[in-house]
Structure 1
Amino acid sequence: MPEGPSIVLLREAAARFARRKVREVSGNSRLDLARMRGRTLREVRSWGKHFLLCFDGFTLRVHFMLFGSWRIDERREAAPRLSLAFANGELNFYACSLRYVEGDLDAVYDWSADVMSPQWDAAAARRKLLTRRDALACDILLDQEVFAGCGNIIKNEVLHRIRVHPLSTVGALSSRKRGELVTQARDYSFDFYRWKKDFVLKKHYQVHTKTHCPRDGSRLAFRAKLGRAQRRAFWCDLCQKRYE
């Protein structure tokens, strides 16, 4: 599943289509795609893992789910869920969820919850943690109402950075640890963005898909499904403390 930093990179790459008219629309979605034909794409935005194509009066929300992808000015062999052609190129989306959002996006999205947004509100995130005291650390980082844009890679790497076991409960964390969780959710997301942009992201993984802890050399624990979210987890039992 593409995480928030990847969606920001897509937004930046697709920005050249803003203020351009959609010349052709096609795809195998059941959505009324023809609605966009002949309309001007006013703005390209993102919120967390949502890619947003804004037209007058409505927005197309693209969510890439677990296996979605995109191509700009090229196509995969598989049929696209949506293809938008402009005078200066085309956008193609695959295996994704499409939905129209009507009206003002500010009424739909809390921009302060997006870890990569200039409007990110760390204090609000800390307050939200206090209302989710029973949540596991491995789940809270995937809660898009708190950390919009954080995904499984960010979850594993952030918990290793702050030395917190994924099965720790939020309420058992000290105020300082909760602060570290909030700070590193944002900091690591921007590191992810820079590494992804430079095509070196995987070289910087510390625990995700790895076998040994880079801090102490011990073998990492792995669970294919962990927490309420049932996502892959990698952690070090030696240096990541379990708070209960």
Structure 2
Amino acid sequence: MPEGPSIVILREQVAPFAGRKVLRVAGNSKVELQRMRGQRVLEFRSWGKHFLIEFPDFSMRVHFLLFGSYRINERKEAAPRMSLAFQRGELNFYACSLKYVEGDLDQSYVWSGDVMSDQWDPRAARRKLKARPAMLVCDALLDQTIFAGVGNIIKNEVLFRIHVHPQSTIGALPTRKLGELIKQAREYSFDFYKWKKAFVLKKHYLVHTKKLCPRCAIPLQFRASLGQSQRRSFFCDHCQRLYE
């Protein structure tokens, strides 16, 4: 599943299409795609894992789910879920979820909840976390109402960075550790963005999909489904402290 930084990269890649009129629309989605034909794209935006194509009176929300992908000015052999053709170029989206968002996007999205946004509000994140003391930190990082854009890779790497076991509870974290969690959720997301743009993201994984702890040189723990989110977790029992 593409995480928030990957959606920001997509937004940047398609920026030249902003201001252009959609001439042709195709795709195998059950959503009425022809509504976009003849419409001019005002802007491409993103919120967390949502890619947003903004038109004058509505927007199209694209969520890439687990296996979604896109192509710019080229096509895959598979049929696209949605294809938008312009006078020069086209955008093709595959295996994704599509949904119209009516009206002003500012009325539908809280931009301060997006870890990649200039409007990100760490104080709001802290308030939301403190209201859920029993929540596991592995679930908290994946909660899109708190950390929009954070995905499983970021979750695993952030918890390793701050030496916190994924089964720790939010309420048991010392104030300093809670602050580190919030800070690193954003900082690692921007590192992810930088490394992915340079095509070196996987080279910087410290624990995600790894076998040995780079700090302790002992085998990492692996759980195929941890917490309510039921996502893969990689962590070190020795240097990542369990707060409970």
TM-score for both structures, normalised by structure 1: 0.99
SS in 1 for 2:92: strand
Find the aligned partners of 2:188 and 2:176 in 1 and give their Cα distance: 18
Deviations 1:63-90 (A, max 9, x none): 0011111111111111000000112211
Find the aligned partners of 2:41 and 2:241 in 1 and give their Cα distance: 49
Matched, 1:233 2:229: no
Q: After TM superposition, which residue ranges in structure 1, 4 or more long, deviate above 6 angstroms? A: none
Match of 2:222 in 1: 222
Unaligned runs of 5+ in 1: none
Match of 2:97 in 1: 97
Find the aligned partners of 1:74 and 1:43 in 2 and give their Cα distance: 21
Give the superposition deviation at 1:173.
0.2
Match of 2:88 in 1: 88
Deviations 1:86-121 (A, max 9, x none): 122111100000000001111111100000000000
Match of 2:145 in 1: 145
Structure 1: which amino acid aligns with 2:156?
Answer: N
Structure 2: which amino acid aligns with 1:48?
Answer: G
Find the aligned partners of 1:24 and 1:165 in 2 and give their Cα distance: 50
Deviations 1:44-67 (A, max 9, x none): 000000000000110000000111
Deviations 1:201-227 (A, max 9, x none): 000000000000111111000011110
Find the aligned partners of 1:138 and 1:92 in 2 and give their Cα distance: 33
Match of 1:13 in 2: 13
Match of 2:61 in 1: 61
Per mean C-alpha deviation after superposition, the further-off stretch among 183-192 and 63-72 is 63-72
Find the aligned partners of 1:42 and 1:88 in 2 and give their Cα distance: 17
Find the aligned partners of 2:45 and 2:231 in 1 and give their Cα distance: 27
Match of 1:107 in 2: 107
1:105-144 alignment to 2 at 5 Å? 105-144=105-144
Structure 1: which amino acid aligns with 2:220?
Answer: L
Give the superposition deviation at 1:185.
0.2
Find the aligned partners of 1:27 and 1:93 in 2 and give their Cα distance: 9
Match of 1:242 in 2: 242
Find the aligned partners of 1:237 and 1:209 in 2 and give their Cα distance: 16
Deviations 1:106-154 (A, max 9, x none): 1111100000000000111111110111110110000001000000000
Match of 1:187 in 2: 187
Match of 2:37 in 1: 37
Match of 1:27 in 2: 27
Find the aligned partners of 2:29 and 2:22 in 1 and give their Cα distance: 17
Deviations 1:154-209 (A, max 9, x none): 00000000000000000000111000000000000000000000000000000000
Find the aligned partners of 1:50 and 1:15 in 2 and give their Cα distance: 16
Match of 1:49 in 2: 49
TM-score for both structures, normalised by structure 2: 0.99
Find the aligned partners of 1:217 and 1:177 in 2 and give their Cα distance: 24
SS in 1 for 2:142: coil
Find the aligned partners of 2:202 and 2:23 in 1 and give their Cα distance: 38
RMSD: 0.5
Find the aligned partners of 1:228 and 1:75 in 2 and give their Cα distance: 37
SS in 2 for 1:16: helix
SS in 1 for 2:14: helix
Unaligned runs of 5+ in 2: none
